[in-house]
Structure 1
Amino acid sequence: PSRPLPSTAVSAALCLLMVLCSQGAPVSPTGARQIVCELYGRCGDEFYDPAHYCCHDQAVVPLARTHGCGNCTYRVCFEQCCPLSLTVKLRDQDCSAAAGPGDRLCRR
């Protein structure tokens, strides 16, 4: 019967694949390199699991991380605080755009 690989061997293999993917080195088969590299995000020089973390201000943070915006809190991985208007908008929206239906106005 086959025995499972020790966790250190699995970790070492994943680490090696991540380094190779980040350097663009060919890994055979090519499809495996693409699949492994798509499983992780990159934030500066650090890799992270996008199912549990995001890259915010060049740091890897948990998806549940919140910050304050006036009297509101917002999730930094998905939203942003627009300080001049004290509005919480989705992360990819422009703060200078008119308020939309999903925006939240926060007070000081």
Structure 2
Amino acid sequence: MAPQSCILAVLAVLCILTPLYSHIHPVPPMDAHLMLCQPLTRCGDKFYDPLWHCCYDDAVVPLGRTRSCGNCTFRVCFEQCCPWSFLVKLRGQKCSEARASDDRVCSSISR
């Protein structure tokens, strides 16, 4: 076989194997904020991953975000502050509901 034929044969094999190899090991997108195979959660006009964030006051915030409620601290993704009674309740519970065993009573901060 002539050297030119060998070089052409090697190039042909490389041309065939390169696309096949790239399908076996796909490269993930560099900036993959939106995964279309997962259900999407929206907060206003933004999408977020509920495993890492929640929607609080129309803003996407990390799950660990806290705020003050009187002299208490509450987790905004899981709890809510009832400011007129200085009570921390689980999110989804109404502040007007009777006090439950898992509610936390906080006192006001005097200035």
Per the normalisation by structure 1, the TM-score is 0.71
C-alpha displacement of 1:55:
0.5
Secondary structure of 2:32's match?
A: helix
C-alpha displacement of 1:41:
1.2
Instruction: String of CA shifts for 1:9-65, please: whole Å, max 9, x gaps.
Output: x739x47x4xxxxxxxxxxxxxxxxxx251x31111100010000001100000000
**Which one has a bigger Cα radius of gyration?**
2
Structure 2 residues not aligned, in runs of 5+: 1-20
Of 20, 29, 33, which aligns to 1:7? 29
- Corresponding residue of 1:60: 60
| AA at the equivalent of 2:26 | P
C-alpha displacement of 1:5:
1.5
Segments of 4+ in structure 1 off by > 4 A?
none
RMSD: 2.0
- Give the length in aligned residue pairs: 86
Structure 1 residues not aligned, in runs of 5+: 18-35
Where in structure 2 are the equivalents of 1:26-105 lying within 5 Å?
A: 36-38=37-39, 40-105=40-105
**Aligned equivalents of 2:63, 2:28: Cα separation in 1:** 29
Alignment CA distance shift 1:100-1:42 (3 Å)? same
C-alpha displacement of 1:98:
1.0
Decide which moves more: 62-71 or 40-49: 40-49
Secondary structure of 1:101's match?
A: coil
| AA at the equivalent of 1:77 | C
**Aligned equivalents of 2:103, 2:28: Cα separation in 1:** 48
Alignment CA distance shift 1:4-1:56 (3 Å)? same
